[in-house]
Structure 1
Amino acid sequence: MFNNKLNSVFWVSAITLGIFVLVGALFPTTFAKGANAALNFTTTSFGWLYLLAIFIFTAFLIFLIFSKYGNIRLGGQDEKPAYSVFTWIGMLFSAGFGIALVFYGVGEPMTHFNDVPVTGVEPLSEQAARIAMGYSFFHYGVSQWTVFAIVGLIMAYFQFKKKKNGLVSTSLTPLIGNRKKLKNGIDILAVVATVMGVATSLGMGIMQINGGLNSVFGIPTGIWPQLAIVAVMTGLFLISSSTGLDKGIKWLSNLNLGAALVLMLFVFITGPTVFILDTFIVGIGDYLSNFINYSFRLNPYTEDNWSREWTVFYWAWAIAWSPFVGAFVARVSRGRTVREFILGVMFAPPAVALMWIAVFGGTALHMDLFGGTNIAAAVNTDITNALFSLFDQLPLSFMVSVLTMLLILTFLVTSADSAVYILSSMTTGGSLNPPIRVRVIWGVLMSSIATVLLITSGLAGLQTASIVAALPFTIILLMMTFTLYKVLKQDVASTDANQVKAKKKKNTA
């Protein structure tokens, strides 16, 4: 079923991305202009598609939770999950959030607090703080994880229920048939989108570690320190990747989740505890009551680009990540029912994320509102210093900042490690144990692309890569959603028919 040979998907994907790296390195100015033009076209013309697609995924998965399809087990009828709940959620959390949450946990609420996304509200006011938390909760709530759940669920169903390989194209076979060129094209799009999405996260993490080193040790921000961080990160995740899924990735995932919870608990205790709890409850209420409005917010009547710069970017970033996170989530979810899978993937990591934002973002807001600090201004100057600006106001700031940089590094390594494993599997026919040489190639390519994007256009370039790469894959995800419903319906109908036949036969006998 599986093989370790390098197929056409590997060669076309690797060569395409290699050319991307060369063009960016040799012609950085032209590359940056082209990327900016592609970004403007994509967000202006297709922002509506990203928003509509995410809402469709959310509604469909909620339907599955309450439907008869929720009882289907991803594997044998009596098969048990391979990982404990804590380890499973830790692996989900590290693969799907990690860097994004650490990067934006303080940065996003404070950015919206300083530059309010709603007209008529005074910046740096109490109302601005509430709006900032509401939108931050929305961006890290269930919507983002519905993308990962859709991809992961259909891939897990085909791998463990249908005994097929773990390729994106295989899950579309009921819809497109066995057209080899078309299926290869779909897998190539999945690989390219994954590399761009992961490169975006790696670039953000590299920038944040550089910002932390600048804040704590005075090391200047710039390309040379960032290149040094890239080198360290690449070496670590290639070493981890060589140990396999049940050693390096599993161990680092548990470490990440444990360290993140300890750090969150520290800020919760040393920060404004009651205010954090109040913020969390109010934020949940605002999120739920405004969910539809948030989900469909665009600005066709004005020239306001806020939705494109934030919500559209987040959804496109999630879609670009989805082939990797979905495949990884599928790989670690064998033995769970469809209902358990959706509840775990769609709600557990977002629950941790919302608490994280309430703790870190809420503490920063409290300090600016009532403590006379100016964290919002520091974030506006350099968002990579957001978290470390908060730590400057807390006890043990030096030690906590150093530990946080190590946490960011392990998140980087875990995300890259997981991505390398999945990319290698996707380009070796769905192999569950892809060759080391393939993992090394993908690791080097991902690090190179993150470096090129950082050199040419920084954070804007990283965001551009995700949004543009996600566009064709959005259509594929909608097709996968339709396919999943079609297959579930057919299989349940077939099972029901067989049960009826067996019952009639028994009664006749």
Structure 2
Amino acid sequence: MNTSTDKVSSKYSIETTDYQVGQDNIQRWGFDIHKPVFGISALLILIFIIVMLVVDPQSAKTTLNNMRNGILEQFDSYFMWTMNMFFVFCVLLMVSPLGKIRIGGKDAKPEHSTISWSAMLFAAGLASGVMFFGVAEPAALYTDWYGTPFNAVGYSPEAKQLAIATSFFHWGITGWSVYGIAALALAFFAYNKNLPLSIRSLLFPIFGDRVWGWLGNVVDILAVVSTLFGLVASLGLGAQQAVSGINYVFGTHGELGMQFAIIAGVTSVAIFSVVRGIEGGVKLLSNINIVFVVGLLILVAALNIETVIHVLPQGVMDYVKNFVALSNPIGRTDTTFLHGWTIFYWAWWISFTPFVGIFIARVSKGRTVRQFIFSVLVIPTCVIICWFSVFGGIAVEQLANKVGQLGMNGLQDISLTLFYVYDAMPMSMLLSVVSIVLILVFFVTSSDSASLVIDSITAGGKLDAPVPQRIFWATIEGVIAAILLWVGGSQALEALQSGVVITALPFSFILVFTCVSLIKGLNSERHLYR
């Protein structure tokens, strides 16, 4: 990649090869950093930590929750229609003549096998959330734990059908459309136009040279802070959930010390992974991850084959039947469910696009636009459908038939719902141990991939940042998570989580511009494929 300090012409063209962002980079202490983005991002992170040290975590959580809820309620229809537009845009782009264009040029070849590539995008895009919500969300929607779609009565046959279908909806093809747009645009501009692998590049076809100034700096800083804080919140809350599972399964009584140990262990392995890079670290762990996922899925399905045979096809039919209704905000009266579930999920997907989009772009060279969109939308959705049909279907059946601790007591502790389900099954100890290992591996794959993303942005969009810089960001993630656990526990982490969701609003505008930029960029290469 050319890192010359010459400015790019404001006129976007096929010849675009140089970018100016490199002139703001400095190389010192083994780092290669883009001064404004690295410096201001680090300062904002430091300020946040100081504030959390002196401010009551509960007050911070309340304030940020109020801001988050206000945005989700005021912009509910906007988020719904925007997500629908992203989905339609991806489908139209996939079937259009532009789908023939190849990331990296007409003769580019994929750098990773389809299986390894799918494993990496799945691990980065979903992480450990599926482990907990794969059982907890269908159970919550069935029992009316916090609203039901279309105000279905809790524990009713209607709620039972909608619980699985709605979980597919929240974790499936619509959300992946957002990642698909961001990742495709970033990959195309990086590999076809030699622009930085950074969020600012998404705006270049529209704003031209201005993206190398304050506009691009603001966008990239927001991406760094959102990615880091999103990962920190997930890592900290995940450590708490993992400890709850370990205590429940093994009868231990670990608390803060065990949470610190998990964060330290995850961070250490993540550092090892980012030092090894994509091939020797992230790809290896993602492949291990997918082996565990498939193995656990097959084993649990085999132990509950009658439930799975019934739930899987019925869930798919209900998903298709209710897809339009669940996507439509007009005339909805189920506002508790809509704001607490769907709108929150859409904001969460959007807020994570800088992280997941850049990482998927980083590993997607050589795919055609059509292959890329189809794979990013369909492969994870198929895994989600299988996963929620098995784990969610079992949880709902236990609730409906009053089986086990979950069936008798209902949904009480989301972090333990998976283990409650296992208690009523054969081989419960083995399943619990494998799941805990898988949860921890998910944390590692999230941490190392997020570290590589932050490295890229803070290095001015370079594909490979120096090793000390990779170690720095991977370490910082673990340190901040540990500090917040120590200072305010789940209150501080949930406040941070709400702050990340707030960033969905500005990122949604960037994604709308991205759709325009992507069409401009792809059209500039259309003549090469006639």
Quick check: TM above 0.5?
yes
Provide the identity percentage: 35
- Select the residue among 324, 329, 339 that pairs with 1:292: 324
State the Cα distance separating 1:220 from its structure 2 match: 4.0
**Distance in 1 (alpha carbons) for counterparts of 2:495 and 2:67:** 11
- Select the residue among 120, 132, 154 that pairs with 1:103: 132
Residues 260 and 26 from structure 1, CA distance in 2 versus in 1: closer, same or farther, beyond 3 angstroms?
same
**Distance in 1 (alpha carbons) for counterparts of 2:271 and 2:243:** 21
- Note the aligned Cα RMSD (angstroms): 2.2
State the Cα distance separating 1:42 from its structure 2 match: 1.6
> Which amino acid in structure 2 is aligned with residue 190 of structure 1?
A
Residues 119 and 291 from structure 1, CA distance in 2 versus in 1: closer, same or farther, beyond 3 angstroms?
closer
Does residue 61 of structure 2 align to residue 32 of structure 1?
yes
State the Cα distance separating 1:331 from its structure 2 match: 1.2
1:91-130 to 2 correspondence within 5 Å? 91-115=120-144, 117-118=148-149, 121-130=152-161
Paired residues of 1:61 and 1:342 also in contact (CA < 8 A): yes
Residues 169 and 34 from structure 1, CA distance in 2 versus in 1: closer, same or farther, beyond 3 angstroms?
same
Paired residues of 1:88 and 1:333 also in contact (CA < 8 A): yes
**Distance in 2 (alpha carbons) for counterparts of 1:162 and 1:215:** 52
Residues 388 and 462 from structure 1, CA distance in 2 versus in 1: closer, same or farther, beyond 3 angstroms?
farther
1:25-104 to 2 correspondence within 5 Å? 25-27=53-55, 28-104=57-133
The alignment's TM-score, normalised by the length of structure 1, stands at: 0.91
State the Cα distance separating 1:128 from its structure 2 match: 1.9
**Distance in 2 (alpha carbons) for counterparts of 1:41 and 1:449:** 27
- Select the residue among 513, 517, 527 that pairs with 1:479: 513
**Farther-moved stretch of structure 1 (308-317 vs 68-77):** 308-317
Paired residues of 1:82 and 1:335 also in contact (CA < 8 A): yes
Residues 397 and 459 from structure 1, CA distance in 2 versus in 1: closer, same or farther, beyond 3 angstroms?
farther
2:303 matched to which residue of 1?
270
1:114-193 to 2 correspondence within 5 Å? 114-115=143-144, 117-118=148-149, 121-179=152-210, 180-193=213-226
Residues 120 and 424 from structure 1, CA distance in 2 versus in 1: closer, same or farther, beyond 3 angstroms?
closer
Counterpart secondary structure, 1:5? strand
State the Cα distance separating 1:372 from its structure 2 match: 3.0
1:464 matched to which residue of 2?
498
**Distance in 1 (alpha carbons) for counterparts of 2:216 and 2:151:** 50
Number of paired residues? 494
The alignment's TM-score, normalised by the length of structure 2, stands at: 0.88
After superposition, the C-alpha distances for 1:185-227 in whole angstroms (9 at most, x for unaligned) are 1111221222233234323422321221121123347544323
**Distance in 2 (alpha carbons) for counterparts of 1:365 and 1:197:** 30
After superposition, the C-alpha distances for 1:160-195 in whole angstroms (9 at most, x for unaligned) are 111222111122111011111111111112212222
Counterpart secondary structure, 2:110? coil
**Distance in 2 (alpha carbons) for counterparts of 1:447 and 1:312:** 29
**Distance in 1 (alpha carbons) for counterparts of 2:408 and 2:229:** 31
1:320 matched to which residue of 2?
351
Paired residues of 2:350 and 2:504 also in contact (CA < 8 A): yes
State the Cα distance separating 1:460 from its structure 2 match: 4.3
2:442 matched to which residue of 1?
411
After superposition, the C-alpha distances for 1:34-89 in whole angstroms (9 at most, x for unaligned) are 21222222212223222222111100000011100000011131222111111111
Does residue 424 of structure 2 align to residue 424 of structure 1?
no
Does residue 244 of structure 2 align to residue 244 of structure 1?
no
State the Cα distance separating 1:407 from its structure 2 match: 0.7
Paired residues of 1:96 and 1:325 also in contact (CA < 8 A): yes
Does residue 303 of structure 2 align to residue 258 of structure 1?
no
Paired residues of 2:274 and 2:452 also in contact (CA < 8 A): yes
> Which amino acid in structure 1 is aligned with residue 74 of structure 2?
S
State the Cα distance separating 1:467 from its structure 2 match: 1.4
2:14 matched to which residue of 1?
none
**Distance in 2 (alpha carbons) for counterparts of 1:120 and 1:310:** 13
Counterpart secondary structure, 1:380? coil
> Which amino acid in structure 2 is aligned with residue 18 of structure 1?
L
Q: Which runs of 5+ in 1 are unaligned?
A: 500-509
**Distance in 1 (alpha carbons) for counterparts of 2:407 and 2:506:** 36
**Farther-moved stretch of structure 1 (74-83 vs 482-491):** 482-491
Residues 23 and 299 from structure 1, CA distance in 2 versus in 1: closer, same or farther, beyond 3 angstroms?
farther
**Distance in 1 (alpha carbons) for counterparts of 2:405 and 2:423:** 11
**Farther-moved stretch of structure 1 (96-105 vs 428-437):** 428-437
1:359 matched to which residue of 2?
390
> Which amino acid in structure 2 is aligned with residue 399 of structure 1?
L
Counterpart secondary structure, 1:177? helix
2:25 matched to which residue of 1?
none
After superposition, the C-alpha distances for 1:451-485 in whole angstroms (9 at most, x for unaligned) are 52772526743541331122211111111111111
**Farther-moved stretch of structure 1 (37-46 vs 148-157):** 37-46
Residues 131 and 265 from structure 1, CA distance in 2 versus in 1: closer, same or farther, beyond 3 angstroms?
same
After superposition, the C-alpha distances for 1:274-329 in whole angstroms (9 at most, x for unaligned) are 32122111111111121122123477767x42222211221111112111111111
**Distance in 1 (alpha carbons) for counterparts of 2:76 and 2:478:** 28
Counterpart secondary structure, 1:292? helix
Paired residues of 2:141 and 2:159 also in contact (CA < 8 A): yes
Does residue 33 of structure 2 align to residue 5 of structure 1?
yes
Paired residues of 1:379 and 1:386 also in contact (CA < 8 A): no
1:14 matched to which residue of 2?
42
> Which amino acid in structure 2 is aligned with residue 478 of structure 1?
V
- Select the residue among 422, 425, 445 that pairs with 1:394: 425
Counterpart secondary structure, 2:366? coil
Residues 112 and 220 from structure 1, CA distance in 2 versus in 1: closer, same or farther, beyond 3 angstroms?
farther
1:506 matched to which residue of 2?
none
**Farther-moved stretch of structure 1 (435-444 vs 93-102):** 435-444
**Farther-moved stretch of structure 1 (448-457 vs 8-17):** 448-457
**Farther-moved stretch of structure 1 (465-474 vs 92-101):** 465-474
After superposition, the C-alpha distances for 1:115-160 in whole angstroms (9 at most, x for unaligned) are 1514664322333221111111101110111111111100111111
Q: Which runs of 5+ in 2 are unaligned?
A: 4-21, 23-31
> Which amino acid in structure 2 is aligned with residue 470 of structure 1?
A
> Which amino acid in structure 1 is aligned with residue 53 of structure 2?
A
Residues 449 and 376 from structure 1, CA distance in 2 versus in 1: closer, same or farther, beyond 3 angstroms?
farther
State the Cα distance separating 1:413 from its structure 2 match: 0.3
